[in-house]
Amino acid sequence: MSAAGTAALTPAAASLVRTLLFPEIAGTAVLWVSMWYFWFGFDHSYYLKKAIWFLLLFFFAPFGPVLYYFVVYRRLVPVPEQRPAADPGNP
């Protein structure tokens, strides 16, 4: 910001930034807690894999849970099958 000649955001801009960042922070926190819950209770991977995921979840909080979600969680949690809609004319 010093390159622009200002030392801080204006109050309106600061309020806008806080408003836009709050959902991202809350979503990251919820994902972090839920991935830890899955890691503790449901992930039965080999201990070395769990140790690596522990380090990623613990030290890389914004990126570790997202990576864990796509690499581990999505593979282990089954997706419920969708049934085709019933034909009202055919009992």
Q: Could you read off the pLDDT of 18-58 as tens digits, one per residue?
A: 899 999 889 989 998 998 888 888 888 888 988 988 998 88
What's this model's pTM, rounded to 2 decimal places?
0.66
- pLDDT above 80 for 77: no
- 12 within some domain: no
User: CA 37 from chain center: how many Å?
Assistant: 13
- 45 within some domain: yes
Which residue's structure tokens are 């909080």?
61
Q: Which pLDDT does position 5 carry in this prediction?
A: 66
Which residue's structure tokens are 């109050």?
11
- 84 within some domain: no
pLDDT tier at 88 (50, 70, 90 boundaries)? low
- 88 within some domain: no
- 41 within some domain: yes
Highest mean pLDDT among 16-20, 77-81, 87-91: 16-20
- 16 within some domain: no
The domain in which residue 48 lies consists of 28-76
Q: Which pLDDT does position 42 carry in this prediction?
A: 86
Provide the domain count of the chain.
1
- 35 within some domain: yes
